[in-house]
Chains A and B, each alone.
Chain A
Amino acid sequence: MIRYLGYEVRLALHPAIWLLPGFLAILRLTGVIQPKSGGWLGFLEVMFPLLFPLLSFSLISQEKNWHTLEVWVATPQRKSISLFVRYLALLFPLLATAVAAVRPEEWLLLLAPGLLLGGFTLAIGLALGEEVGLGAGLSWWGVSFILAITRSELLSRGAARWVLLFPPSVSPQEELLRKWGQLGVGLLLLLLALEVAEHKRSWKRRG
Chain B
Amino acid sequence: MIKAERLNKKYGRVPALRGITITIENGVFGLLGPNGAGKTTFIRIIATLLPPSSGKASVFSHDVLHNRIAIRKMLGYLPQEFGAYPKLTGREYLEYIAALKAIRRPKRQIDELLAQFHLTDVARRRVTSFSGGMLRRLGIAQALLGEPKVLLVDEPTGGLDPEERVRFRDFLMGLSGDRIVVLSTHLVEDVAMACERLAVLRGGKILYQGTVNGLLDLYRGKVYEVEVLEERTKGKLDAWGDRVLTTKRVDRGRGVRVLGEVEGGRPVSPSLEDAYLALIRS
Residues of chain A touching chain B, judged by Cβ–Cβ distance below 8 Å, are 3-4, 7, 10-11, 66-68, 70-77, 82, 201-202
A7: chain B residues at CB < 8 Å are 88, 92, 95-96, 99
Q: What's the nearest-Cβ distance from chain B to residue A165, in Å?
A: 33
Interface residues, chain B, with chain A CB atoms under 8 Å away: 44, 47-50, 69, 72-73, 75, 77-79, 81-88, 92, 95-97, 99-102, 139, 142
Residue from B72, B81, B95 within 8 A of A3 (CB atoms): B95
| B83 near A75: Cβ-Cβ < 8 Å | no
Q: Find out whether the CB atom of A201 lies under 8 angstroms from the CB atom of B85.
A: no
Top 6 closest A-B pairs, CB basis?
Answer: A67-B83, A4-B99, A75-B100, A74-B77, A77-B100, A70-B79
Contact residues in A for B78 (Cβ distance below 8 Å): 71
**When the two chains form their complex, are residues A74 and B50 in contact, meaning their CB atoms are under 8 A apart?**
no
Instruction: Say whether B84 contacts A4, CB under 8 Å.
Output: no
A66 near B88: Cβ-Cβ < 8 Å: no
A76 touching B95, Cβ below 8 Å:
no
Report whether B49 and A73 are in contact in the complex, using a CB–CB cutoff of 8 Å: yes
A164 to B85, CA, bound (A): 38
**Complex alpha-carbon distance, A6 and B79, angstroms:** 26
Q: Assuming the A-B contacts A4-B96, A77-B100, are A201 and B50 also in contact, with contact meaning beta carbons closer than 8 angstroms in the complex? A: yes
Contacting B83 at CB < 8 Å: which of A11, A68, A73, A202? A68
Closest partner residue, chain A, to B81 (CB atom): A67
Given A7-B96, A73-B49, A74-B77, the answer on whether A68 and B72 have CB atoms closer than 8 Å is no
Q: Are A75 and B86 in contact (CB-based, < 8 A)?
A: no
Nearest-neighbor residue (CB-CB) of B75 within chain A: A74
Q: State whether A70 and B81 are in contact (beta carbons under 8 Å apart), knowing that A76-B101, A77-B102, A202-B49 are contacts in the complex.
A: yes
B83 x A66 contact (CB < 8 A): yes
A7 to B99, alpha carbons, bound, how many Å? 9
Instruction: Give Cα A3 to B104, complex, Å.
Output: 12
User: Within the assembled complex, what's the spacing in Å between the Cα atoms of A7 and B48?
Assistant: 25
Contact in complex: B101, A202 (CB < 8 Å): no
Q: Are B99 and A68 in contact (CB under 8 A)?
A: no
Q: A72 contacts B100, CB within 8 Å?
A: yes
Cα(A68)–Cα(B96), bound, Å: 12
User: In the assembled complex, how far is the CB of residue A106 from the closest CB belonging to chain B, in whole angstroms?
Assistant: 34
Instruction: Collect the chain A residues with CB atoms within 8 Å of residue B97's CB.
Output: 71, 75
CA distance A71 to B101 in the complex (A): 11
Docked Cα-Cα span, A82 to B96, in Å, equals 11
CB distance from A142 to the nearest CB of B (A): 32
Which of the residues B49, B72, B81 comes within 8 Å of A76, measured between beta carbons? B72
Q: Which residue of A lies closest to B70 (CB)?
A: A76
Whether the Cβ atoms of B84 and A68 lie closer than 8 Å is yes
A sample of 25 inter-chain contacts (CB < 8 A) reads: A3-B95, A3-B99, A7-B95, A7-B96, A11-B85, A11-B87, A11-B88, A66-B84, A67-B83, A68-B85, A70-B49, A70-B82, A71-B77, A71-B79, A71-B82, A71-B142, A72-B100, A74-B48, A74-B49, A74-B72, A75-B72, A75-B101, A76-B69, A201-B48, A201-B50
In contact, B72 and A67 (Cβ under 8 angstroms): no
Alpha-carbon distance between A72 and B81 when the two chains are bound, in angstroms: 13
- Bound state CA distance, A11 and B97, in angstroms? 13
